Amino acid sequence: MRQAGFWSFARAYPASIAVVEVSGRTLTAGELLAQSHQIVSGLRALGLSRGDCVAMALPNSSEVLALFMAATEAGLYLVPINWHLTASEIAYVLTDSNAKVFVASERIGQASREAAEMAGVPAVTRFAVGSIEGFRPFSELIAGQPTSVPDDRSAGAAMTYTSGTTGKPKGVRRPVGVADPDTVAAAQAGFLSLFGILPGSEGVHLVCAPLYHTAVLNFATNHLHLGHTLVLMDKWSPELTLECISQHRVTSSHMVPTMFNRLLKIPPDQRKQYDVSSLRHVIHSAAPCPIETKRNMLEWWGPCIYEYYSASEGGGTLATPEQWLQKPGTVGKAWPISEIRILDDARAPVAQAETGTVWIRMGDFRFEYHKDQQKTADAWNEGFFTVGDAGYLDADGFLFLCDRKADMIIAGGVNIYPAEVEAQLVTHPAVLDAAVFGIPHPDFGEEVKAVVQPVPGARADDAFANELLAFLSERVAKYKLPRSIDFVSELPRDPNGKLYKRALRDPYWQGRTTAI
């Protein structure tokens, strides 16, 4: 049987293909192992020790994975930075995390250089994959370092930063100690067994979203811990995704509902050109998935689509394909290690099927928001934490999400969840993407606003807006209907599908702190 845990597996099967780069170049498990060991020694030569932070701003590449394996073998924190951020935003993360080393890609050379200067990262601890003025080549970090197993191994962790959609990003920090990395790696690989992906299995995992996202990085590295091959994509597109699945005989991937919506816009005749029969586990999360979208994907790809609910902070729930078909719209039941409770604003339990705030407990698991004691305290209650999502539990303990409480619209005292309206809008054949949010109303406090991204070639005029309102009127209650619809060429989403709704909503609320 294949051994669980990357380091054990790579020593036992060094010739196994670990990574297929964006360029098509392959890297064996032995090569990735050797590079990760060299990084450990290189970082220690710079003076880093257990609990220190290494930050990286890199597109999907083997360097990301080597840095992760190094940090989690040397008791370090690895801070993945969204490389689409501005220089000042990158500098904020560098400063807030107290990063002692910064590794960046020449793709964002100017922003990285400015960020490093603003954050005061010493030139000797800046490294570039490619060439960046004022940075040392990444090769200098590992040059001459041993490829053997380093001494004094201890488990480290990724410290990912929340997206900042409701304020400044915060690092989600879990304690690192003296735990054995191999033991921790085996446990992390075991997480995939919740979805039926078992130790000893063989597989090819498609990484189709940026590795700076918590879930994407966790799922990718957990598959490495099982000895699976990772196929890396750079920029997502529905056609390229299908090409990769077909070409590499992909067995698993981690996706978000936005990707499903766009895959389904491919005409049926064109879909038949791609062989997706190798898929066994396509796992999705990040946002509620429209019921019609999920049904159509299951019909196309078969019963391989699993849904879960969690956040950077932890989780969560799981819905198998069979469970979801029995209870359409659910995000599943609690993991064996987790509990779910629904509380009102006074933190008292609500009645069954009543909507409230979702709280989660994962045994003795704890985290903190780096340098923010108040935010940490607000997130915890009697061993349960929340990220502010609203939902309810049915009689069988299945969780149904409504929306983020921060996104909820209150119009004339009535609660409206934008995700419900968005889920219907994106099922219209001429809608590629949609966002719904509240804007000021002089009498009701808020009214419903929709912004729609039409499919290429579709008209964007009053007639189309009226068509969409008629379409919605058959699917949602009248009080949930948008009072106006705007059209844009592209909604502000990050490459993993995260919608920056504040960018759309905030201009309407400029100068206001609450609804009128």
Q: 158-179, pLDDT tens digit by residue?
A: 999 886 544 678 888 888 877 8
367 contact partners, CB below 8 Å, separation of at least 6: 172, 173, 174, 313, 314, 385
How far is residue 395's CA from residue 298's CA, in Å, rounded to a whole number?
Answer: 25
pTM: 0.84
Mean pLDDT of 130-141: 97
What pLDDT does residue 387 have?
A: 86
Task: Produce one character per residue of 32-57: b if its CB has 16 or more CB atoms within 10 Å, e if not.
Answer: bbbbbbbbbbbbbeeebeeebbbbbb
Q: How many CA atoms lie within 13 A of 332 on its CB side?
A: 25
Mean pLDDT of 120-136: 97
pLDDT surpassing 70 at residue 511: no
pLDDT surpassing 60 at residue 515: no
Place of tokens 């394909």: 321
Helical segments of 291-429, H only: 291-301, 321-326, 373-379, 418-425
Q: By the 8 A CB rule, do 209 and 256 touch?
A: yes
pLDDT surpassing 70 at residue 361: yes
pLDDT surpassing 60 at residue 472: yes
Lowest mean pLDDT among 36-40, 206-210, 335-339, 500-504: 500-504
Place of tokens 């539990």: 393
How is 240-264 classified by DSSP, letter by letter? HHHHHHHHHT--EEEE-HHHHHHHT
pLDDT interval class at 513 (50, 70, 90): very low
Q: What is the mean pLDDT of the chain?
A: 91
- Higher pLDDT, residue 10 or 173: 10
SS3 track for 142-192: HCCCCCCCCCCCECCEECCECCCCCCCCCEEECCCCCCCHHHHHHHHHHHH
Question: Which among 429, 437, 414, 405 has a CA at the least distance from the CA of 506?
Answer: 437
Per the DSSP assignment, residues forming a β-bridge with 239 are none
How far is residue 190's CA from residue 188's CA, in Å, rounded to a whole number?
Answer: 5
Lowest mean pLDDT among 2-6, 316-320, 449-453: 2-6
Question: Which among 446, 436, 447 has a CA at the least distance from the CA of 404?
Answer: 436
Please provide residue 342's backbone torsions phi and psi, each rounded to the nearest 5 degrees: -115, 125
User: Which domains are present in the chain?
Assistant: 30-169 (3.40.50.980), 408-509 (3.30.300.30)
Q: By the 8 A CB rule, do 11 and 124 touch?
A: no
How far is residue 244's CA from residue 95's CA, in Å, rounded to a whole number?
Answer: 38
pLDDT surpassing 70 at residue 88: yes
What pLDDT does residue 496 have?
A: 66
- The kind and range of the H/E element at 472 are helix 462-473
- Higher pLDDT, residue 503 or 469: 469
pLDDT surpassing 70 at residue 399: yes
Residue-wise pLDDT for 55-67, tens only, equals 999 999 999 999 9
Q: By the 8 A CB rule, do 142 and 35 touch?
A: yes
SS3 361: strand
